[in-house]
Homo-oligomer: A and B are copies of this chain.
Amino acid sequence: MKQTLSIIKVGSNLIEDEKGFYRILELFSKMPGNKIMVHGGGKKATEMSKKLGVETKMINGRRITDAESLDIAIMVYGGLVSKKMVAQLQAFGTNAIGMSGADANAIKAHKRPIKKVDFGYVGDVDMVNSYGIFKLLQSGFTPIFCALTHDGKGQLLNTNADTIAAELAIAMSDQFDTTLYYCFEKKGVLQDVEDENSVIQHIDTKAYDELLAYGIISDGMLPKMHNCFYALRNQVSKVCIGDVSMLEKGNSNFTTLTL
């Protein structure tokens, strides 16, 4: 039987305030078995951009990563957020290592080709070095990934944290029985976006198609759900979507997705 692995993507909003930051790291520390965290840090990067007077460039509502913005992402995701998480996780007894995709050559990507829009230093994932990550896990370390990849030629690239989590989960599924958790502000996928108590407990491929057909999945949820089923179709055992309490033992009020 394969060993289990939990990959937890933590949304940027959840680690904004000190209380949320501690709670999620404490709950993560208490989870048994092999685990990996993937975190954003977008809000803190936006704050830092403002402080440094660097304009956040957007085209059609999508963020453009120029050289200055990339440096800020490296500083904030790879430095400030990552290292503070690691220090706190160590205090909770988790032997964490904060990583970008360049560390341990973990995640290789290529710079997104310029078509209609030049997104700048944004990376689309080519390869996850599952053997390197496996070796870290087997040595008792817990990798904490930020939303950065590299191209193998010395260039760091900004990559969406949801995508990184999905790609990691897929690559690690050869070796592990992998569950992917998307942790965000809501209790799960909601039947009625206005009603926090309308969590859909289970979504399979058939239910997903129905939800899409009836337009129940909101705009913000669409790419997340797309990532989930992409992961499931590529050997990931289970995907869970919910708020921080999803990581609490015994809680089942969140959305579980399977094929």
Query: A-side interface residues toward B, CB under 8 Å?
Result: 48, 51-52, 71, 74-80, 82-84, 86-88, 90-91, 95-100, 102-105, 132, 135-136, 139-141, 148, 150, 152-156
Contact = CB atoms under 8 A, between A and B. Distances in A.
Given A51-B52, A104-B141, A136-B139, A156 B82 contact: no
Nearest to A48: B75
B98 A86 contact: no
Contacts of A136: 139
A148 B79 CA distance: 11
A90 to B, nearest CB: 5
B97 A83 contact: no
Nearest to A85: B102
Contact of A75 (B80, B88, B97, B100): B80
A25 B136 CA distance: 24
Given A78-B79, A90-B152, A148-B83, A105 B99 contact: no
